[in-house]
């Protein structure tokens, strides 16, 4: 469970987030969308404990976040893997730091390597993997550490469209199997609707909640869902809001 209560964040005179109040129940898949510079990544970093709010409070499992929190695992847009380690060594790294015995940590790592479909690449190094495969290793590493909350900052942004679609569907399956609480950032409305149980749109800077949509699209969330009338209805609702906020953002950048 995540709670942000009256959260504001500024960097010097630049106000990035304003009066953020968000409650993410256990087991929810929340997706944040919004114009560039609206504070999405800042909000995620506040939950992870990499940043502290200028005012307000952030809680994970009813405990205030005051430092980097092991209850939360982060998957970044860039593949933060150790190039000198194999797939299984990368996935098991957090367990090794916690002192888990080699046999046990490798068994746990293999469980999640299998879950993301990389069982044929256990002993491969990151340089031998495609971008999509590297991101799957990053996701498996977070899952192996068994955090209560998984935070994903545009993890598929750099991937080609086909790989992105496959990983979106795979992430939904992982979510359904693990029951983790997930907060995911994207610029893609299609991606938001394929993944989420709820979508929050942040307004142009300073970021604030301007729209909240509960996603009632059926499962499985595959390409066929994108052809449905309900998908297009929800997409239009979100786009109408995002378009207004993007225009505000452009006007701000132009100094108007």
**What pLDDT does 255 receive?**
53
CB 28 within 8 A of CB 197: yes
Q: Which of 146, 169, 195 is the last residue in one of the domains? A: 146
Distance CA 144, CA 12 (A): 38
Q: What average pLDDT does the structure give for the chain? A: 90
Do 231 and 247 have their domain in common?
yes
Per-residue pLDDT averaged across 106-114, rounded? 92
CA distance 59 to 88: 32
Model confidence at 97, pLDDT cuts 50, 70, 90, reads confident
Q: Given 146, 166, 182, which residue is the final one in a domain?
A: 146
Q: Are residues 132 and 161 in the same domain?
A: no
pLDDT 10s digits, 197-212: 999 999 988 899 999 9
Look at residue 76 and tell me if it is in a domain. Answer: no
pLDDT value, residue 22: 97
Reported as a single tens digit per residue, the pLDDT across 131-169 is: 888 988 998 898 898 899 999 998 888 788 888 888 888
Angle in degrees, 0-180, between the axes of helices 131-144 and 161-178, rounded to the nearest 10: 10
Predicted local confidence at residue 245, as pLDDT: 84
| Overall domain count for the chain | 2
Beta carbons of 149 and 181 less than 8 angstroms apart: yes
What was the pLDDT predicted at 201? 95
Model-wide pTM > 0.85:
yes
Structural domain harbouring 133: 82-146
Highest-confidence segment of 69-83, 87-101, 152-166, 236-250 = 87-101
Mean pLDDT of 215-230: 87
254: confidence class by pLDDT, cuts 50, 70, 90: low
């Amino acid at each position: 469970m995540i709670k942000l209560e009256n959260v504001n964040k500024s960097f010097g005179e630049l106000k990035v987030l304003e009066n953020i109040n968000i409650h993410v129940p256990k087991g929810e898949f929340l997706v944040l969308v919004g114009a560039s510079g609206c504070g999405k990544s800042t909000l995620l970093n506040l939950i992870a404990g990499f940043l502290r709010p200028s005012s307000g409070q952030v809680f994970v499992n009813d405990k205030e976040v005051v430092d980097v929190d092991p209850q939360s695992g982060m998957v970044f847009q860039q593949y933060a893997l150790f190039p000198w380690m194999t797939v299984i060594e990368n996935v098991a790294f957090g367990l090794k730091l916690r002192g888990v015995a080699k046999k046990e940590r490798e068994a746990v790592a293999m469980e999640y390597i299998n879950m993301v479909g990389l069982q044929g690449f256990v002993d491969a190094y990151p340089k031998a993997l495609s971008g999509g495969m590297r991101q799957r290793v990053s996701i498996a590493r977070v899952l192996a550490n068994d955090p209560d909350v998984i935070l994903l900052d545009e993890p598929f942004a750099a991937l080609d469209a086909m790989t992105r679609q496959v990983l979106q569907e795979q992430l939904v399956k992982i979510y359904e199997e693990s029951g983790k609480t997930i907060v995911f950032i994207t610029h893609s409305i299609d991606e938001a609707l394929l993944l989420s149980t709820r979508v929050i749109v942040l307004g142009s800077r300073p970021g604030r909640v301007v729209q909240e949509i509960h996603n009632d699209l059926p499962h499985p969330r595959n390409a066929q869902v994108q052809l449905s009338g309900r998908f297009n209805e929800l997409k239009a609702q979100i786009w109408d809001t995002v378009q207004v906020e993007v225009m505000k953002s452009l006007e701000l950048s132009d100094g108007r």
